[in-house]
Structure formats: C-alpha cells, structure tokens
Amino acid sequence: MLFSSISFLYYFLAIVLAIYFIVPFKVKNLVLLIASLFFYFYGEPVYTLLILATTVSSYIHGLLIDRFRGSVWSKVFLWSSVVTSIGVLGFFKYSDFFIRNVNNLTGSDFALLGIALPIGISFYTFQTLSYTIDVYRGEARVQKNLIHLATYVTLFPQLIAGPIVRYTTVEEELSARTHSFENFAYGVTRFVLGLSKKVLLADTLGAMAAAMTGASQPSVVGYWCYALGISLQLYFDFSGYSDMAIGLGRMLGFHFLENFNYPFISKSITEFWRRWHMSLGTWFRDYVYIPLGGNRVPKGRWLLNILTVWFLTGFWHGADWTFICWGLYFAFFLMAEKFWLGKVLEKLPRAVSHLYVVILIVVSFVLFSGNGMTGALQDIGCMLGLGGLPLWSQETAYYLSSYGLLIILAVVGATPLVKQAVLRIKEHATGRKVINLLEPVLVFVLLLVVTAYFVDGSFSPFLYFRF
C-alpha cells in the first residue's frame, strides 16, 4: 500500500487513527501492530510471515543475550542474531547477484533463483540488528513484551522505506508516549508537505528526466538536465517519504529523528553525507566503522575501514555493481578530503566548493540510477559530449522551457531559503499570526491538489521501495 494513494490516505489511515485514539493506551500498540501487519500484508502477503519470523528471532535473541549477560554465551547469541539477520537479507536480496557473477567468472550455468525482494527488508533488518546489538552493549533494555517489540519492527510509518529508526530512539515511547493536538497538527503538516514533495516535485522531475534521455534530439545539456533531474527526484522522493514517516509518527506519539538536512547546500562530500540519509550514515558509523576501529588505527587499516563501510553502503542499496561502484566513488572522494582536498576546499570561495559538490553528486546519481554499469557509463559519456552529441538541440530547449519553472522551484526547495524566510516572518507578532492562519490553508490546498493527482493516477511508487 502506497502512502501516495486514495486507499491509504482516506481509508486505511483514517480508520487506523479513529480506532487508535478511541482505545485505551494499553492496547494502542496492539492496534498499531495489527494495522502495520495489514499494511504490509496488503502489498506482500507471503513475506508478512518473513517479517514476523524476523521479529520473533530478534525477540528470542534479545532475551538470550540478556539472560546470559557477562558470559561467553551472550556474545554467541549476539553473533547468532547478526548471522541470522544478515543471512536472511543476503539470501533474499543477493542470491541471484552472486550466482550471476559466479556464472560470469567461471562460465558455469547455475540457474538463478528468481526470488522477489521483500519490500523494506533492508530497513527492518537494520532495525532488528540495532536492537540486539544495543541490548548486548547495554545501551538498550531487553524488551520482554513481544507486542512492543513487534510494534517497533513493523510500525507502518517507516516500515518499507525508512528512515532507519533505532530501538533506542523509541524505546521509552513504546511504553509511554504523549499525545497532543500540537503534535498531531505538526504531524499532519509534515505528512502533507512530504506527500507534496513526492507527488508534485519528485514524480514530475522523474518525467522531465525521462523526457531528456528519451529525446529524439539528445544533447549534452539535455543529459546534464537529466542528471540534475534524477538527483533532485531522488532527494524529494526519499526526503518526502521521510517527512511522511516523521509526520505519521508524530501523529501517533513517536518522535523519529530527522533523515535529511538540506544536503545540496554542502561545501564538501563529507558534509553532504552528514546531511543525506542520516539514519543510514550513522548506522554504519556506529555498528560497522567504529567497531572496526574507526580512525584510531594505523593509516592503512583506516583506509580499509573507509572502503569497507562505503562498499557495504553501496551494496546495501542494491544487488548490482552500479551500487557498489557508487559507494566506492564516495569512498574515494571522502578519503581525498580527509588527506588533502578538504584543506583546499576550505580555502576556496563558497560558490566554488558548492559547485564541486553539486557536480560530483549529480554524476554519482547518474551512476546510481543507471541501467547497469554499461548504461550508467553511457549516460556519463553523453554528459561529457562523447559519441558526437551536440551541446544543444531544439528539443532540449523545448523541454527546458516546459520544465524551467519546475527546476527553479525544485532547486529553491532543496535549500533552507523558504524555511528561513518563514522563521524570519515569525519573529514579528503580526507575521506569526499571518503564518499561523495561512499554514493550515496551504496544507489543505496541497492536500486537495495531491488528491487530484491520485484521482488522475499521475503518481508512482517511491524509489526506495526497491531497497
């Protein structure tokens, strides 16, 4: 079930909220668990059993880790949990990738398994891992109530496309959380804004990108517009989903952490990754990079740690060499910035360092979105003018005139300019009153416009569903 659909917004969500706020607190988690399982079952009937099995496995492992705390068995059960979770993720997500590469390397002809990827498995696997690891470390108390843990794992606002919500973030709120009109109103506003980012900006940017690459008169400028389009599409699609998840969570009394912080204003790739998909970056930092030794090891080992983390970051996104190369691409520039490039960037004018980041990012997302390595390299080649492409074409000019306003709105929307303007207006009493009056009207109008898109069928699934 898609957030961007009539069935979710006006049937599922409306019914769930009505029941949730009617029942006493002691059964609210049960209501959320049943609703979340139905939400997942609606799109993945068979794999609902898989997420339940994953939850029960984490629950049992958590109990055993806590029961044998201080003995070697606690570590044994921790590793059992890690191997089980990673093993399940590896089987469903990477089996065919490994079989295909073995066939290519050895000339063998092993049959592909053709296993469908369970929606959201990359996200909920990392969440269950964070639970058992934090219980072992003593950073989280073991959860003895299976319904509470199952609610955390399956919670529908963030179940299928993140952000990666750690158990410690919602540990207290699973047992006691506050509901208020202010929180609910904030949640509604955040949800509608996220939904608008997805439907009005991301989907339209995707259409623009497709038009640029599918043009009968392609050009170098057209391919750069494609690169910018898919980069902004990915940002508004994923950050829009994160906004919706945070908004839904707030309606239900949960406070999820932010996942994006205007990454396109960054002045270095290091800063970009502090602002983009923050829940994934901090997860790899805390559960992979630091346990490997981080930067408190000899230089050679440190470089290996960085390469390992970014290889895994790319591979987490998908079973294809494009994702692995995408991760290693960032590893290269991050290492360069740590050793010498970072000092150079600090001395450059802000506009130059910002341009450096934007160029590297849009090229990276061409690689990320390419049709295999061959397709990705062809697209990058077209951006460089290889293959005899002209710099400009009449068709490119037509599409730019058609989508020019969209590009301007998207670029401005990817910066904090609008937010800063609103905050500045709110500094004055009159301005604050005007904003407080206009905000609900704007939210209502956006909801009406988005609903019209739903009725027309002019929307698409979230891009991160495939991860």
Contact between 95 and 115 (Cβ < 8 Å): yes
Catalytic: which of 61, 179, 317, 428? 317
Q: Which residues contact 220 (CB under 8 A, 6 or more apart)?
A: 382, 383, 384, 385, 389, 390, 391, 392
Contact between 140 and 234 (Cβ < 8 Å): no
Active-site residue flag, 277: no
> How many angstroms separate the Cα of 35 from the Cα of each of 3, 101, 191, 349, 426?
14, 40, 18, 52, 38
Cβ count near 437 (within 10 Å): 9
Element (H or E) spanning 174, and its range? helix 167-175
Q: DSSP letter at 199? A: I
Residue that has been written with the tokens 């898109």 in this structure: 453
Contact between 276 and 231 (Cβ < 8 Å): no
> How many angstroms separate the Cα of 354 from the Cα of each of 9, 261, 359?
38, 15, 9
Angle, CA of 327, 351 and 326, to the nearest 5°: 10
Which of 60, 37, 33, 61 has its CA nearest to residue 49?
37
What are 170-176's contacts with CB under 8 Å, separation 24+? 170/254, 170/255, 170/256, 171/140, 171/141, 171/143, 173/253, 173/254, 173/255, 174/29, 174/143, 174/148, 175/148
| Distance, CA of 196 to CA of 402 (rounded, Å) | 20
Tell me: cis bond preceding 163? Omega within 30 of 0 counts.
yes
> How many angstroms separate the Cα of 120 from the Cα of each of 34, 317, 403, 464?
18, 11, 32, 9
> How many angstroms separate the Cα of 14 from the Cα of each of 162, 211, 230, 462?
22, 37, 33, 21
| Distance, CA of 82 to CA of 367 (rounded, Å) | 30
Contact between 82 and 428 (Cβ < 8 Å): no
State how far Cα 301 lies from the chain centre: 29
Residues involved in catalysis: 317
